[in-house]
Amino acid sequence: MYGGAWRPGTIPDMSDLPPESDLPPEIDVSRPHPARMYDYYLGGKNHFAADRETAKTVLAAAPTTVVGARENRAFLGRAVRYLVAEAGIRQFLDIGTGLPTTNNVHEVAQAADPSVRVVYADNDPLVLAHARALLTSSPEGRTAYIQADLRDPAAILSSPVVREVLDFSQPIALMTVAVLHFVLDEFKPAAILTTLLDELPSGSYLTASHVTGEHLPAQAAATTRTYRSSGVPLQVRDSDEFARLVFDGLDLVPPGVVLVSEWRPDGTEPRPAPAEVNCYGGVARKP
Ligand SMILES: C[S@@+](CC[C@H](N)C(=O)[O-])C[C@H]1O[C@@H](n2cnc3c(N)ncnc32)[C@H](O)[C@@H]1O
């Protein structure tokens, strides 16, 4: 074993990863995982050869994927800041967390109010391995991590960790940022969201973003083929499909469903073109 003591939560930096053959069996390096490919696009170090090869194939056909990834991550940060500073939210359930990177949800949220509580959930065991970096809550707040699959919302809702950390009598922000495109129609994503939202009190919020093919259909088709042929389900949806799927029955916060780069941008810097971003996002309140 790596140093004799590799265990979840002990890899601060993948540059000192053990040889792939020494990793625990639940970390499958033989095929790419979306969290690790996203980390590659963002310039992180938490990826293996299979992730890099697949990501490079995606980038060869769709080089602006890195722009979309960065803009999506920035959207996530602005949405969290809005939810705490302007909407008064103090609790988050972040499903499809991704590997820890800069501006994790609790860091942004607790910078605005240290008492914020966050439960993170992801289905990639490597995210679990890095979860320690997500458990750095301020003393006034709380963070927790569960390994869970968005396609099984009942398991998330009945998790003792979720129930202990979050108070379901008070508003909760449900975050599904850049994860719903990994839930194919056959898994009924609308029903999944309904199950989750039904448990949340009025005044809760849903934040979501989703990759689209509407600006570059050929590149999106190539990306979809690359992901699927590597065993990663991916389904791009256009902005109308995304809006209907996610925000029906909720009160959208202005400016509504827009490119993630256009959602309450900071400053007046020129923003990338739609065909570089290829990702829509929005925030909405449960009436
Ligand atoms: C592109 S990353 C997004 C990370 C973060 N939410 C963000 O927007 O910066 C997608 C994450 O969703 C996770 N994921 C994909 N399918 C999932 C599922 N069915 N259940 C839970 N997590 C999933 C992946 O492991 C990955 O960490």
Contact residues of ligand 1, CB 6 A cut-off: 34-35, 38, 72-73, 76, 95-98, 122-124, 127, 149-151, 177-179, 182-183
- Tens of pLDDT along 68-78? 999 999 999 99
| Alpha-carbon span 247 to 111, nearest angstrom | 28
Is there a contact between 70 and 160 (Cβ–Cβ < 8 Å)? no
- Tens of pLDDT along 134-172? 899 999 999 999 999 999 999 999 999 999 999 999 999
Find, among 223, 186, 202, the residue nearest to 286 by Cα. 202
Give the ligand 1 atom nearest the CA of 176: 6
- Tens of pLDDT along 213-261? 999 999 999 999 999 999 999 999 999 999 999 999 999 999 999 999 9
